[in-house]
Amino acid sequence: MGAGLSLSRAEEVPDYAMHLQIKAEVPVEDVIATAQAAGRAILQIYNSEVGFATVRIEASTWEVQMKSDQSPLTRADKEANTIICQALQNINPHIPIVSEENKIASHAVRQKYQYYWLVDPLDGTKEFLKRNGQFTVNIALIANGAPIIGVVDVPCQGKTYWAVKGKGAWLRTGEGQRRIQCAEFGFEDPGLKICASASHLNKETEEFIQLFKNPEFVQVGSSLKLLMVAEGAAHIYPRLAPTCEWDTAAADIIVREAGGVVLAAGNQDNKGNPLQDWKEELLKEAPVVYNKEDVLNPYFVVFGKRKAAGP
C-alpha cells in the first residue's frame, strides 16, 4: 500500500452484508400465456406421432431417455422446459426457477429464496407415452412454503386452470373463463367420487378407499386429479405414493382457492413406503408445504369442500 494507508489487524474492514428489497410485478396473464405456449409445443410433438402403435416406436421418435429415478424424459419435456424457463426469466429475472428438468440448487441456497418458480414442464410423461392425453404443464410461484400463483395447462383438452392467492380459482377455455368451486360433501355420504393415480394404486390407497360407502372410483394421470377436485368433478384424491413438489404445487393453490384442502398424511421414503401412520398424520390437518430439504412430497389427501360436522 502507499505511505500512510496500511491497516493494522484491528482496523480491518468488517464483512458487512447489504440487505436489498426488490419490488417486482408478476403479470398473471403472462404466466398463463407461458403455460399455454409450452402446452402448444408439447401438443405439436404429441400430434406429430399419430399412428405409432407401440411405446417402443414412440420412444425412438420422441427421443425418450431414462432419468436416474427411472422416470422417462422426452423431447417434449425438454422443449417445454426451455420455453417456460426463458419466459419466466423475461417476466422477472430476479425470481429463481426450480424445475424438474433443471439441476436443483442445494437446500442451503433454496431456503434463502423469498420467492421462486416451481415448474413441471410436462407432468405425466408416462401418460404422454401411453397416448391417453392425461398430461399437464404446471407452473407455480412459491412464497414462505406455499404456492401463491398456480397455472396448469391441459393441452389435449384445451383447458387452462389458474389461481392467485385470495383471488379464487378459474378455468379458461376457448369459450371463455369461469370461476370454479369444489363440490361440498360429508364423509358419511354414499357414492363419493374418489380419484387416484392410474399408475400408483397401492394397498394404502385401497385401504383409504374402503373407509367410504360405495365410492365411485376414477383413475386419472398427472395433476388432473387435483383439478378434478378443484372443479367439483371429484370429492377426494388420496395420494399415498411418491410425488415431488413440482407435481402438485400449481394445482395445490387451485384446490385451495376453490375451497378445498391438500393435507399432509405422513412422510414416505423414495420407494413410497410409509414412515409414519398416515391416518394419524392426516388428522393433524397440516397443509403440504414446499421448499423442503427433500423435494419428495409426503403422502397427502386432497379434499373438496367438507361439510361441517353435525352437533
- pLDDT at residue 66, as a whole number: 54
> Would you state the pLDDT for residue 57?
39
Name the residue among 151, 173, 115, 109 with its Cα closest to residue 257. 151
Closest-CA residue to 180 (of 200, 201, 148, 150) = 150
Segments making up each domain of the chain, as ranges: 28-50+67-179, 184-306
Ligand-binding site membership of 122 (annotated): yes
Size of the chain, expressed as the number of residues it contains: 311
247 labelled ligand-binding: yes
Walk along the chain (311 residues) and give the pLDDT tens digit of each residue: 455 555 555 566 677 777 777 777 899 999 999 999 999 999 999 998 544 333 333 444 545 555 544 455 688 999 999 999 999 999 999 999 999 999 999 999 999 999 999 999 999 988 998 889 999 999 999 999 999 999 999 999 999 999 999 999 999 999 999 999 999 999 999 999 999 875 667 889 889 999 999 999 888 988 999 999 999 999 999 999 999 999 999 999 999 999 999 999 999 998 889 999 999 999 999 999 999 999 999 999 999 999 986 54
pTM of the model: 0.88
- Write the CATH number of the domain with boundaries 28-50+67-179: 3.30.540.10
The fold of the 184-306 domain, in CATH, is D-Maltodextrin-Binding Protein; domain 2 (3.40.190)
Binding site annotation covers 120? yes
pLDDT of residue 139: 98
pLDDT value, residue 53: 37
d(CA 136, CA 84): 13
Which phi and psi (to 5°) does residue 139 adopt? -135, 125
d(CA 197, CA 230) in angstroms, rounded, equals 16
